[in-house]
Amino acid sequence: MTAIADTAILTGRSLRHITRSPDTIITTALMPIAFLLLFVYVLGGAIDAGADRYATYLLPGILVITIASSVSYTAFRLFVDLQGGIFERFHSMPVARPAVLWAHVLTSLVATLVSLGVVVLAALAMGFRSSAGLGAWLATAGILAFLTLALTWLAILPGLTATTVEGASAFAYPLILLPFVSSAFVPTETMPGPVRWFAENQPVTAVVDSVRALLAGEPVGADLAVALAWIAGILVVAYALAKAAYRRRIG
């Protein structure tokens, strides 16, 4: 019980960091929105789909990029906490130790979901339309929240181990680029052999295809199971690595 109360108190603290610097939410949402604009209005003309339909096609991949860019701020916030003395203060107090990391994880979930909401609104303005019902929207939110949880634990690792601020947030770049080699922007059938093989067998494609089907009101099929398996796998590995890094760091 005290662990839950401690987590709630500490989550309130880091959420206040976000409301005090709303620029982190804006910059998180800014790059995905810029990608949306670029692909819908600049490159979209060359991609034979039509602006509205392409925005709809694009959104799932853009949402994955949003999550990747958002969790890099989690790594940053954790790094800053560790640099100052506040982490050691919490650890020398009668505070449940898991609460200190979980507060960052929960804050990351909240901040990411807000950013995702902002990006969806921007996509709506650019012509994104969905025929999905409430259930499909909730399923979409569930998948994205699950992915955020997994990638947040992945972000905890550089947050704990980085030696510079740049190092703490740089891990997100590969995550942000991964959707480009997936079904997020163009169908994988257009890609040359080895690239296509990679694109079809990496987690972003499974997640993007599931979300795309859900938002289109279509049956999801096997993609969903593959996506959930990937996310669960990432979560288990990232959590174990983060815990090990935490023990090394705290001693």
Cα three-residue angle 61-65-68, rounded to 5 degrees: 140
DSSP 212-241: HHHHTT---THHHHHHHHHHHHHHHHHHHH
Q: Which region, judged by CB under 8 A, interacts with other proteins, from 14-22, 43-51, 216-224, 230-238?
A: 14-22
Q: Is 95 in the site for other proteins (CB under 8 A)?
A: yes
Out of 41, 89, 138, 236, the residue judged to bind other proteins by CB under 8 A: 89
Supply the minimum distance, in Å, between the C-beta of residue 90 and other proteins: 7
**Alpha helices for 171-221 (secondary structure H):** 172-177, 193-200, 203-215
Q: Is 84 in the site for other proteins (CB under 8 A)?
A: yes
Is 119 in contact with 36 (CB distance < 8 Å)?
yes
- Residue 5 or 229: the one with the smaller Cβ distance to other proteins is 5
Q: How far is the CB of 112 from other proteins (least distance, A)?
A: 19
DSSP structure string for 36-76 = HHIIIIIITTTTTT-HHHHHHHHHHHHHHHHHHHHHHHHHH
Among 34, 38, 86, 125, binds other proteins (CB under 8 A): 86
**Which of residues 16 and 129 has its CB atom nearest to other proteins in the complex?**
16
Closest to other proteins by CB, 90 or 230? 90
Q: Is 174 in the site for other proteins (CB under 8 A)?
A: no
Is position 17 an interface residue for other proteins (rule: CB under 8 A)?
Answer: yes
- Per the rule left: phi > 0, alpha: psi between -120 and 50, beta: everything else, 127 is left
Q: How wide is the angle at C-alpha 200 spanned by C-alphas 198 and 204, nearest 5°?
A: 95
* Closest to other proteins by CB, 86 or 229: 86
Could you list the residues that contact other proteins (CB under 8 A)?
6, 9-10, 13, 16-17, 20-21, 83-86, 88-95, 250-251
